[in-house]
A and B are shown apart, each in its own frame.
Chain A
Amino acid sequence: QQQVKQSPQSLIVQKGGISIINCAYENTAFDYFPWYQQFPGKGPALLIAIRPDVSEKKEGRFTISFNKSAKQFSLHIMDSQPGDSATYFCAAVINQAGTALIFGKGTTLSVSS
C-alpha cells in the first residue's frame, strides 16, 4: 500500500512532442505528490508538485494531472526539448506525518532532435 508505481520505465520522444509519464498509488492518505528531475551525474531536483485538492497544475511546459478517484497522477511535458532528457521520478507522502517520500522507480526520457 506504500508503493508508487511509475510507467513507462523509458520513453523516447521527438523534439516538439508531448512526453507523458504516469504514476499510480494505493494509499489514499497521501496528500503531496511531487515530481523530481535528475540529470546524469546530478542529484534529483524538485520539478513540480501537486496536492490532491486540485486536478491540474501547470508550470511552463510541465503539467501535473491528478485523478483522485483513480489514484493516479501524471506528468506531461509539452513541446519536449533535448534539454528535457533526464530521469523523472514521481513521489508521494503523507505530509506532516513524519514519514519520508515514497518514490516511483523512475522514467528515463530521451528527446531526440
Chain B
Amino acid sequence: DAGITQSPRYKITETGRQVTLMCHQTWSHSYMFWYRQDLGHGLRLIYYSAAADITDKGEVPDGYVVSRSKTENFPLTLESATRSQTSVYFCASSFVNNEQFFGPGTRLTVL
C-alpha cells in the first residue's frame, strides 16, 4: 500500500531493553522525521533525515539512535529504554521540508 507506515503500532517493554520502531514510506520522499508526542509538549522532533545516510538531531535526541541506509526506511532505536520514553511516536516524510505526511503512530509504554 502506498503511504507511510509504522510498526509496531503498540509496544510494551521494560526499562533497559532495546526497542526499535520502524517507519516505511513508499513515496521516495527525501525527508523523514521522528517526533514524540506527550501531553503538554505537543510534537517534539527527535531526529530527522534529509536523504539516505544523512541524519540530524532534533530537539530531544538523547537516548535515541537513527539510521537511514535506504530512502524508504527510517528506524528509530531506543538503546536502553527508560520510563521517560513512554510516549506516542510519529514518523513523517516529505518531498521538500514543508508538507509533512505523518504515519499512524506507535504507542510505546516502558514499564
Contact = CB atoms under 8 A, between A and B. Distances in A.
A44 B89 CA distance: 12
Interface stretch (B11-19, B61-69, B102-110): B102-110
Interface string A84-102: 0000010001011111110
A101 B44 CA distance: 10
A104 B97 contact: no
Interface of A: 6, 32, 34, 36, 41-46, 49, 89, 93, 95-101, 103-106
B90 A44 contact: yes
**For chain A, what secondary structure do more than half of its interface residues adopt (helix, strand, loop), or is it mixed?**
loop
B43 interface: yes
Nearest to A98: B50
26 contacts: A6-B42, A34-B98, A34-B99, A42-B104, A42-B105, A43-B90, A43-B102, A43-B103, A43-B105, A44-B102, A45-B101, A45-B102, A49-B98, A96-B96, A98-B50, A98-B97, A99-B97, A100-B97, A101-B45, A101-B98, A103-B43, A103-B44, A103-B45, A105-B40, A106-B42, A106-B43
